[in-house]
Amino acid sequence: MTEKGRNNGRISLLFLGILIIFVSIYAAGNYYVGLRFFQSIQSLVEPYSLFYWSGYALLATSLFAARLGKRFYPGYVNDLVAVTGDYWLGAVYYSFLIWAGTDILRFLINFIFPAAQIIKYPSFYWGFVVLSLVSLLLLYGTWNARHPRIVHYDITIKKTVHNLPKLHAVMVSDIHLGLVVDTDRLDAMVNSINELDPDLVFLAGDTIDEDVRLFANNKMPEVLKKLRSKYGVYAVLGNHEYIGGNSKLAVEYLRQAGVNVLVDECIKVNNQFYIVGRDDRMAGRMAGKPRIKLSSLVDGIDRNLPIVLLDHQPINLEEGQRNGIDLQLSGHTHDGQFFPNTLIARHVFENSWGYLRKGEYQIIVSAGFGTWGPPIRIGSNSEITDLTISFVE
């Protein structure tokens, strides 16, 4: 067996292991939440228990059914099942947190005050409260995700550029164009960017949400082509372009949309500054082609000119600092997307959102424009990043 074959085998085993763990946790969480809701309304639905659990099972499996169904039965019905599955994941997540928190609190009260009289639990009223809270969270999260904000940063790079004292750029990451972030939302995003009148537009990965053909069939390249800027639009791939299995096709369609896709490439723009576009870390796992080292990408370039790095995942920031990068633009984290994942993201990544400076090296991580999985944002915001970059010695 070749080395590539062994690597593909290891990747398949790793993916299978992760999938088994996820499905096991998902199944256990669904059963726990389903049981708690059933117990809260048992007196009402007990004669119809089979219908309750059958309906619940259909909702719980919709997340997987839609992903299998799109290969064999693509269309409106499958799209509806897919959106239902994504919302169901969010609903079960928050239902689990509330029910588990209630169970823990109840256990502590009974442990500290064993003689305390607790009302019947789970009760119909508390089940209604949990359902209402989760519904409100999903409604708010959906609204919040669909109302992106403009986040502005003033950046100073200590290099002088002939005839270019300032550069106005806009960066967007994690648009996840597809079923949820559709053509209408893309059109609104393009209009918002054009209103900012940037010199340059950066797309920092995960522009397409896995299904490249949906991106093409819905004529999204034509909408993306409406982006206007003095120096053009530059993009890198993210992990989702690779997860979809059609990264080369993604590059082709993005280039048809007038986007300069940099896959481990360095380009000098107008003889005034460099843009370095790194391939995503997922390339080695999904395509069997590890990305080029950053030191090799910037080898031999004029270090007197500003260097802007596009790298989807904000990992190993020391590498950017070590190789003389002036400004790195990244995404990927979604800033956790919804609480309490927001807290987890801030512990996993050195910079999960916003601005960080390490000497002369600066990095901005966007929370992203779109969403992945549950189409909600709670404790984070969809955003378009507006940058004013000043060049001063």
Q: Is the pLDDT of residue 1 over 50?
A: no
Looking at the fold, whether 158 and 290 belong to one and the same domain comes out as yes
Task: Give me the mean pLDDT over the 209-236 stretch.
Answer: 94
Residue 288 and residue 310 in one domain: yes
Q: Are residues 77 and 179 in the same domain?
A: no
pLDDT of 31-43, one tens digit each? Answer: 999 999 999 998 8
What's the whole-number mean pLDDT along residues 61-66? 89
Q: Is the pLDDT of residue 13 over 80?
A: no
Could you tell me if 165 and 125 lie in one domain? no
What are the DSSP calls for 227-281, one per residue? ---SS-EEEE--HHHHHTT-HHHHHHHHHHTTEEE-SSEEEEETTTEEEEEPPPT
Distance in angstroms (rounded) separating the CA atoms of residues 260 and 236 = 9
Q: What pLDDT digit, counting tens, does each position of 241-261 carry? A: 998 888 999 999 999 999 999
Residues 298 and 279 in one domain: yes
SS3 358: strand
Which residues, 6+ apart, have CB-to-CB distance to 30 below 8 Å?
Answer: 56, 60, 92
Final residue belonging to a domain, choices 115, 143, 171:
143
Torsion of CA 379, 382, 388, 391, to 10 degrees: 70
Do 135 and 87 share a domain, yes or no? yes
Contact 312, 363 (CB under 8 A): no
Tell me the CATH number at 199. Answer: 3.60.21.10
Tally of structural domains, the chain: 2
Same domain, 311 and 236: yes
Say what the pLDDT of residue 320 is. 95
Task: For residues 88 and 195, state if they share a domain.
Answer: no
**Type of residue found at 299:** D
Q: What is the pLDDT of residue 163?
A: 92
Q: Which domain holds residue 160?
A: 150-391
State whether 190 and 274 are in the same domain.
yes
Asked if 342 and 199 sit in the same domain, the reply is yes
Same domain, yes or no: 99 and 30: yes
- Domain stops at, among 143, 173, 196: 143
Question: Apex CA 23: angle with CA 22 and CA 29, to 5°?
Answer: 90
3-state helix, strand, coil in the chain (%, to 5): 50, 20, 35
For 315-331, give one letter per residue: b (16+ CB within 10 A) or e: eebebbbebebbbbbbb
pLDDT digits 0-9 by tens, 346-391: 999 999 999 999 999 999 999 999 999 999 999 999 999 999 999 9
Structure tokens at 97: 């947190």
Q: Mark which of 143, 164, 189 sits at the end of a domain.
A: 143
Q: Which of 294, 380, 366, 370 is nearest to 331 (CA)?
A: 366
357's tokens? 């400076």
Report the share of the chain in percent with pLDDT over 70.
94
CA torsion 316→174→283→73, rounded to 10°? 150
Residues 250 and 169 in one domain: yes
